[in-house]
Structure 1
């Protein structure tokens, strides 16, 4: 939506949640599933069949089955989702957004308390951009939320919750107001002004390069394992795509994204939202290939409910406005409901929130109704100190009906692996290596470690899980690989920086309910190898 009157000042509203909304509270899992943040694309090694050209695609008025593979068979295990997700990713790139290139040959930069610089070189071409940083009070390292263009979730609430704000200028990476044959910005300086990749995917590429730099930095300021992203309106479209295409992003919060954002493409024409041709023509947000579908969305082999599914099981908090039809809120609710079926199938139904039950109809206003779920999501996915379940709260003014759009059912996925990547992901990307200990069958606690590694360093995320009884204090012992040294840690006290180390709880995460968990982390220099932790309830 072309809205150039976005408020420059966000005003907190003391409004109560309205009555008469359709409210569905997604039940919390005993131990909510969460992705091991650390790899941009976990399915990079999957083999994906060649995709047909747009002209040979069949028409399908219903939303495509997110569980059906390109070969026509349905996935049957949770392990199948990695490569099924990669199929959806490739379809989204080919038909909707344009390709997101993998990590360039060289990405360097700096992280300070006020700024991040990014320098990219690839195949003889180079570009640079930067983003400002605003830290919360307290002692770092901090998780961070990337805010697009200065408009997204309330930055005061973000910082009060304990997360830093990275102010990202998308136009430095992909400029609006240009012809499709003369795209400009840091992305197009590398990949060419006539690249068929649209601005939304270019913006996604830019945030991924920011995360690369954070990973490479010493980690004393910003944490490498706890990044969120948010934006409103056109920047809500951007946040949606950014989070979908980088699995290192733990929490994504698009707001009022409108056509080319969250709303299903198939629903937009019937709802009276900004038309697909208008969204395609207003700015080169979408990839050039989408021109084949502006008048024929039913020929798309995917839809945005599957883009929502790409986030699973990571945190997703979609905020929408039921008062502006042009934003397509009814179609947005259908996308969320459809994507929530993927979350449920993966055992992560409590990790998605959709909230359009609001009183203020102004575009991109800050709303009191969103303050509490915003705080809860930041604590759960970035600080890793909370465990509140997600909520599907749809306003009765714009309530979509998922059953009218689908002819498929959600499978009960087994746990056994049946499909694995056939090749090793590119070595230039970080790798994740989990070491898992099963939860204790009775009292006590267990611990597991996920490792996010790159040349010369790694981040360890440690999950402490209680058994059948609550834990009132805990201690985790582990031995670092030879030569590894911890440079910083969060959410725990530690006895040293190398060799055998004892981590103990801090005051706010000492108590863990029965079968619940908390997490802490550390960043280290050196080469990672599998780590086997032991946990003791104190």
Structure 2
């Protein structure tokens, strides 16, 4: 990296090849080569790539293994480091269409201010306008400073961030995309511009908001903050947001998602087998994911993309994933597989030292500030943001939740030639797809944070003809629990269903999703909502609820209408 007074010189080309290593199930360290940690000077370096027509959801095959990140949509594999720019753009478009929803480009007008205490953002596009702001806390010393965007005040330790020399931008993502809204009436600055029924999910809307903050920093003249040294962090649902934000804006030099769980780093294909929060639960709890993902909640193996490729989208920029092996509900084993898979792209690009995954921790408390992370956090900030460090990335995977990449791949990592190039200028030819919108019922506002005490129950393999059956999986913690109820049709299709169950003594439902209910305690009746009453023969759907009190086994009964 070239430096000038501590600043990283902006560059968008990818560094030379380092020998790719054979895929393995776990690693203790990733070999470090010539660093490639300068952020790109543009939000999307592959915007000029001509992306082939994307497949339709109905034509996607079922593939249990993780997609090959080096394989282009035309069926050939990339052969040089320069090919990665347009391959990354293909992954981006697939992720937008099938997982998160489209991230619109920079609006027609973005203005704002940066002071020592605050950042204001004003956006307008096609006659619609919106505004939001973020507070700013500077470290000691003389600026301009690098900065880390902290989602909801809930991410990596802010004292450590400032001590390392970076400012803290306290970002309220709910001002841009509000939780607790149905999919057909999303609220916040993003949806003010692009419509309340936009199929884009909250995670991508939050990412768009951070990109607009960076726009304002770029325009501010650099007296307070550096435009070439922005990081992002968040934990839990905000870890999901930090993960998506860093992947989709190449100006972000360092991303630090923490315990992001389902809809975050864990591979979608691994979540059902690990017993993490189910995809249908994550999809229904909040409109985090794009509307189109609803097609894949029970069939992730049909996705043409998975989160190991989203991890690869960060390459060669800095990525420090922090995870918790003590909470199975967060999917740490699946997250480690995503990190290992994405690390293969980092290696092939000669940037293996720029990614770290760390779940080797003692304290299992959700979103705690942990001593094990303090030094690598400081070192990552110094390397990628301040510009005076040389930290080498590590894979510190806890034995409690160690995924094996070899179980998930049937591809090998290529040796890529070094061929710098300029991305093509041909505009993308595939317009964004707008999938149908399906609203859930009001979701809970607090995600479950501890491992399931009762593993997911496999539905009967031969449910009675013309009827339905129901099973319950519990995820419990002190003073509360989440129940996921699966309804399975028999040999005939179900057109409307009714589930009865009795809650444990003292338990009370606080929120429910994907179902209507009568009552909050004792014997409760649940019925389908408009979009999940029809179940094909042998198929299933799920609903869930969050409750206060202690959990206990429940025996639901199901009848079809």
TM-score (norm 2): 0.71
User: Taking structure 1 as reference, are residues 424 and 281 closer, same or farther at Cα in structure 2, changes over 3 Å only?
Assistant: closer
* 1:318 aligned counterpart, secondary structure: strand
Picking from 78, 82, 85, the partner of 1:82 is: 85
Shift of 1:37: 2.6
Cα deviations by residue, 1:180-199 (Å, 9 ceiling, x for unpaired): 00000000000000000000
Task: Confirm or deny that 1:162 pairs with 2:165.
Answer: yes
Task: Confirm or deny that 1:101 pairs with 2:104.
Answer: yes
Aligned positions of 1:188-203 closer than 5 A: 188-203=191-206
Quick one: distance in 2 between partners of 1:377 and 1:193?
38
Cα deviations by residue, 1:226-248 (Å, 9 ceiling, x for unpaired): 00000000000000000000000
Shift of 1:329: 0.2
Quick one: distance in 2 between partners of 1:47 and 1:104?
22
Structure 2 residue ranges without an equivalent (≥5): 1-24, 429-561
Q: Is the 1:83–1:419 Cα contact (8 Å) retained in structure 2?
A: no
Task: Confirm or deny that 1:359 pairs with 2:381.
Answer: no
Quick one: distance in 1 between partners of 2:238 and 2:170?
12
Q: Is the 1:77–1:418 Cα contact (8 Å) retained in structure 2?
A: no
Quick one: distance in 1 between partners of 2:284 and 2:82?
39
Quick one: distance in 1 between partners of 2:205 and 2:170?
17
| Partner residue in 2 for 1:229 | 232
Task: Confirm or deny that 1:51 pairs with 2:54.
Answer: yes
| Partner residue in 1 for 2:258 | 255
Quick one: distance in 2 between partners of 1:390 and 1:36?
17
Cα deviations by residue, 1:1-55 (Å, 9 ceiling, x for unpaired): xxxxxxxxxxxxxxxxxxxx976111221x2123443110000000111112211
* 2:28 aligned counterpart, secondary structure: strand
| Partner residue in 2 for 1:318 | 321
User: Taking structure 1 as reference, are residues 215 and 419 closer, same or farther at Cα in structure 2, changes over 3 Å only?
Assistant: closer
Quick one: distance in 2 between partners of 1:353 and 1:283?
29
In the alignment of these two chains, the number of paired residues is 404
Task: Confirm or deny that 1:348 pairs with 2:351.
Answer: yes
Quick one: distance in 2 between partners of 1:408 and 1:125?
47
Task: Confirm or deny that 1:416 pairs with 2:419.
Answer: yes
Cα deviations by residue, 1:88-107 (Å, 9 ceiling, x for unpaired): 00000000000000000000
* 1:25 aligned counterpart, secondary structure: coil
Picking from 44, 47, 58, the partner of 1:41 is: 44
* 2:320 aligned counterpart, secondary structure: strand
Cα deviations by residue, 1:128-167 (Å, 9 ceiling, x for unpaired): 0000000001110000000000100000000001100000
* 1:24 aligned counterpart, secondary structure: coil
Task: Confirm or deny that 1:71 pairs with 2:68.
Answer: no
CA RMSD for the aligned pairs?
1.3
* 2:85 aligned counterpart, secondary structure: helix
Quick one: distance in 2 between partners of 1:130 and 1:388?
33
User: Mean Cα displacement is larger for which, 356-365 or 416-425?
Assistant: 416-425
Quick one: distance in 2 between partners of 1:420 and 1:216?
25
Quick one: distance in 1 between partners of 2:302 and 2:27?
32
Shift of 1:371: 0.3
Shift of 1:334: 0.1
Picking from 398, 401, 412, the partner of 1:398 is: 401
| Partner residue in 2 for 1:302 | 305
Picking from 333, 357, 362, the partner of 2:336 is: 333
Task: Confirm or deny that 1:151 pairs with 2:154.
Answer: yes
* 1:281 aligned counterpart, secondary structure: helix
Quick one: distance in 2 between partners of 1:90 and 1:157?
35
Shift of 1:419: 8.5
> Which structure: larger Rg?
2
Picking from 22, 30, 42, the partner of 1:26 is: 30
Q: Is the 2:26–2:403 Cα contact (8 Å) retained in structure 1?
A: no
Quick one: distance in 2 between partners of 1:357 and 1:406?
24
Picking from 352, 375, 380, the partner of 1:377 is: 380
Q: Is the 1:148–1:235 Cα contact (8 Å) retained in structure 2?
A: yes
Quick one: distance in 2 between partners of 1:221 and 1:35?
20
Q: Is the 1:80–1:420 Cα contact (8 Å) retained in structure 2?
A: no
User: Taking structure 1 as reference, are residues 419 and 91 closer, same or farther at Cα in structure 2, changes over 3 Å only?
Assistant: farther
Q: Is the 2:45–2:423 Cα contact (8 Å) retained in structure 1?
A: no
Q: Is the 1:322–1:395 Cα contact (8 Å) retained in structure 2?
A: yes
Shift of 1:422: 3.8
* 1:201 aligned counterpart, secondary structure: helix
Aligned positions of 1:165-184 closer than 5 A: 165-184=168-187
Aligned positions of 1:235-274 closer than 5 A: 235-274=238-277
TM-score (norm 1): 0.74
Quick one: distance in 2 between partners of 1:22 and 1:266?
18
Task: Confirm or deny that 1:61 pairs with 2:47.
Answer: no
* 1:360 aligned counterpart, secondary structure: coil
Quick one: distance in 2 between partners of 1:261 and 1:122?
29
Aligned positions of 1:490-509 closer than 5 A: none
Quick one: distance in 2 between partners of 1:130 and 1:53?
38
Picking from 389, 410, 420, the partner of 1:407 is: 410
Q: Is the 2:139–2:167 Cα contact (8 Å) retained in structure 1?
A: yes
User: Taking structure 1 as reference, are residues 36 and 238 closer, same or farther at Cα in structure 2, changes over 3 Å only?
Assistant: closer
